[in-house]
Amino acid sequence: MPQDAFTIRLAARELNAALTGGRINRINQPDRDAVALLIYTGKRTVKLLLNANATDCGVYFTEEERENPAVAPNFCMLLRKHLQSAEILSVETAGFERILTITLRCVSDFSACERVLYAEIMGKYSNLILTENGVILGALKTTTADEACRRLILPGAPYVFPAPQEKADPSDRAALIRALEAPFEDTADALFRRVAGLAPCTAAAIAACFAGGDTAALADHVQRYIFSDETQPCVKETPGGVVDFYARRTAGARPFPTLMQAECYYYTKKRGARRVENMRRRLLTIVRNAEKKQEKRLAQILEKRQAAADAETVRLKGELLTANLYALTRGMRACELVNYYDEAGKTIKIALDETLTPAQNAQAYYKKYRKQKRTLEALVPQEKEVREELLYLAGVRPFLLSAETEEDLAAAEEELQACGLAPLPQERARKKKPEVPFRTYEKEGFTVYVGRSNIQNDKLVRQSAPDDVWLHARQVHSAHVVIRTQGRSVPESVLAFAAGLCARFSAGGGDRLPVDCCPIKNVKKPKGSKAGFVTYTDYRTLEGDPARAAGKETP
């Protein structure tokens, strides 16, 4: 459910009951548009997130740990100056608007006063504004006097509420009746367009439970629904991620004890999915840039090889000139000599430098031949290196595309960092970074491990016992999968499950693929080969069906 006035009113009621009397112990700003308040309520410490981001604005409790910047932003420093150790007196809504007012009592060594922190939850217009006696002390997003704006949001300016919508205030019954008197076909659409503070889904929910009647009955029903304190929070979720959260019961949604918990779950999942996609996009860009660099290098190598491809013809011309020195004179620009290597006895035309003697012309051709030969010899290992690098980068891509969590992408990023493709983390972040584990699954008493990156694939092979079963998609880049056997025979159902995991985490795009499997003792890693590259013998081939690999990872 979008953050409309209906939802914010219910959220304010929960926040007021939980936070009144609490004290602000710590203030952080983990993101550009979000402020986190660590509040001691007298019983426990809670973290309140005030998010003014356009895509997930809201005020709610959170347990998510987010890294703070090394240098606190200006607005964070302002809040620390004015609100550190402040007591929360109330959390309310400003009328039926999408604005939360957090009233605080601030006491210092020299003064005591009340300040109000306004959280305007208005989509792309969301903002956090701190005021004292109606005057703005500071704001997360400010305007300037020369901007053509209706509100001046600047330190020292009076705080003015946003201009109201040209819709009926649902708390005013007479205005509500007047707004709904005009004919309409769709009740939900009419409520959304004519009543202030309602999102489309809220208007649809109100219309769905209206039993029927005249305009007055509809107005009374709207007021009862909006200003009822009844809540049945829930979050609708699909395999693709969270869909929305709701203050009232919704079919097919997961219930939560409080609206704050529902919002926290929804936004944590939503931000996590966004971070995964942003991280995936960033790493894919690194891989694409590396591929372009290698492709450009390969094109240069092929161009040089093409330029030196006639080395043998150059050598032949040098030999023919040497064999016919007696017939040539200085000053000739070209000559046509019989090619004694040709059975048909055909002639070959040879260009000459008229400033050189015939012998010098022959030596010039030999010199050019030796240079071209050295070039061709030097290009062979270079081309091999470039093609191996391109093959390796192509093998990294499936890990990035099939990654489902930040852990998956963190493992791939570690690999890119080890190869020098991605920048190394700062020392501060490096110390806190835990080791990323393998993907782990349980199937019929067998533990199945899946590598998250090529480096993890190598590590998985090294750490497995000789009798463990190893699987890999045939002729397709995929994760390495190992079934820990502990000396037991592996049932076909477990093999099918592991083969499905291979297909699932591969470049096959979720299609069915042939998967090779063999004992680990038959898997060898050639010396000096790229990460993830192995050879194997004495294998059998299974069908890898991703549908057979359904199941969650084991923590």
**HSE-CB of 192 using CA atoms within 13 angstroms:** 14
101 sits in the region (left: phi over 0; alpha: psi -120 to 50; else beta) called beta
d(CA 413, CA 423): 9
- Output the pLDDT for position 397: 87
Segment 309-362, tens digit of pLDDT: 999 999 999 999 999 999 999 999 999 999 988 888 899 999 999 999 999 999
**Nearest C-alpha neighbor of 496 from the set 441, 553, 545, 447:** 545
Closest CA to 457 of 519, 422, 516, 415: 415
Alpha-carbon gap, residue 206 to 246, rounded angstroms: 13
- All structural domains of the chain, each given as residue ranges with its CATH number in brackets, are 5-139 (2.30.310.10), 308-387 (no CATH), 436-549 (no CATH)
Alpha helices, DSSP H, located in 403-520: 406-418, 427-432, 454-463, 492-504
This prediction has a pTM of 0.74
> Per-residue pLDDT averaged across 161-187, rounded?
89
> What is the rounded distance in angstroms from the CA atom of residue 542 to the CA atom of residue 406?
30
Average pLDDT of the segment spanning 488-504: 92
CA nearest to 397, candidates 280, 295, 298:
280
HEC profile for 467-491? Answer: CCEEEEECCCCECCEEEECCCCCCC
The lowest-confidence range among 85-94, 192-201, 399-408 is: 399-408
- Mean pLDDT over 165-180 rounds to 90
| Look-up of token digits 């503070």 | 197
Give the model's confidence band at 420: pLDDT under 50 very low, under 70 low, under 90 confident, else very high: confident
Choice among 31-45, 248-262, 500-514 with the minimum mean pLDDT:
500-514
SS (H, E, C) 152-193: CCCCCCECCCCCCCCCECCCCHHHHHHHHHCCCCCHHHHHHH
Q: Please report, for residues 334, 336, 353, the alpha-carbon distance to residue 331 in angstroms, rounded to integers and kept in the order given.
A: 9, 15, 8
Q: Please tell me which residue, 148 or 387, carries the higher pLDDT value.
A: 387
**CA neighbor of 76 nearest in space, from 31, 124, 110, 16:** 31
Q: What is the pLDDT of residues 83-137, one digit of tens each?
A: 999 999 999 999 888 999 999 999 887 789 999 999 999 988 899 999 999 999 9
Mean pLDDT of 484-499: 93
Average pLDDT over every residue of 180-206: 90
515 backbone dihedrals φ, ψ, rounded to 5°? -125, 130
Q: Which amino acid type is present at position 174?
A: A
| Contact indicator for 127, 141 with CB cutoff of 8 Å | yes
> Which percentage of the chain shows pLDDT scores above 70?
96
Say yes or no to pLDDT of 430 above 60: no
Given a cut of 90, whether residue 149 has pLDDT beyond it is no
* pLDDT bracket for residue 555 (50, 70, 90): low
Q: What is the pLDDT of residue 148?
A: 55
Spatial distance between the Cα atoms of 292 and 461, rounded to a whole number of angstroms:
31
DSSP per residue, 56-93: S-EEEE-----PPPSS--HHHHHHHHHHTTPEEEEEEE
pLDDT tops 70 at residue 433: no
Residue 3, classed as helix, strand or coil, is coil
- Is the pLDDT at 1 greater than 60? The verdict is no
Residue 87: predicted pLDDT: 95
Q: How many whole angstroms separate alpha carbon 340 and alpha carbon 323? A: 10
Percent of the chain topping pLDDT 90: 62
Q: Is 498 helix (H, G, I), strand (E, B) or coil?
A: helix
Taking residues 430-458, report their average pLDDT: 83
User: Residue 474 and residue 483: Cα distance in Å, rounded?
Assistant: 18
Pair 187, 218: CB distance under 8 Å: yes
Q: Helix %, strand %, coil % for the chain, to 5?
A: 40, 25, 35
The DSSP code sequence of 362-404 is: HHHHHHHHHHHHHHHHHHHHHHHHHHHHHHHHHHHHHHHHH--
Rounded-to-integer distance, Cα 217 and Cα 210, Å: 9
User: Does the structure show a pLDDT above 80 at 403?
Assistant: yes
Q: How is residue 255 written in tokens?
A: 């219930």
Confidence at residue 143, expressed as pLDDT on a 0 to 100 scale: 83
pLDDT of 151 above 90: no
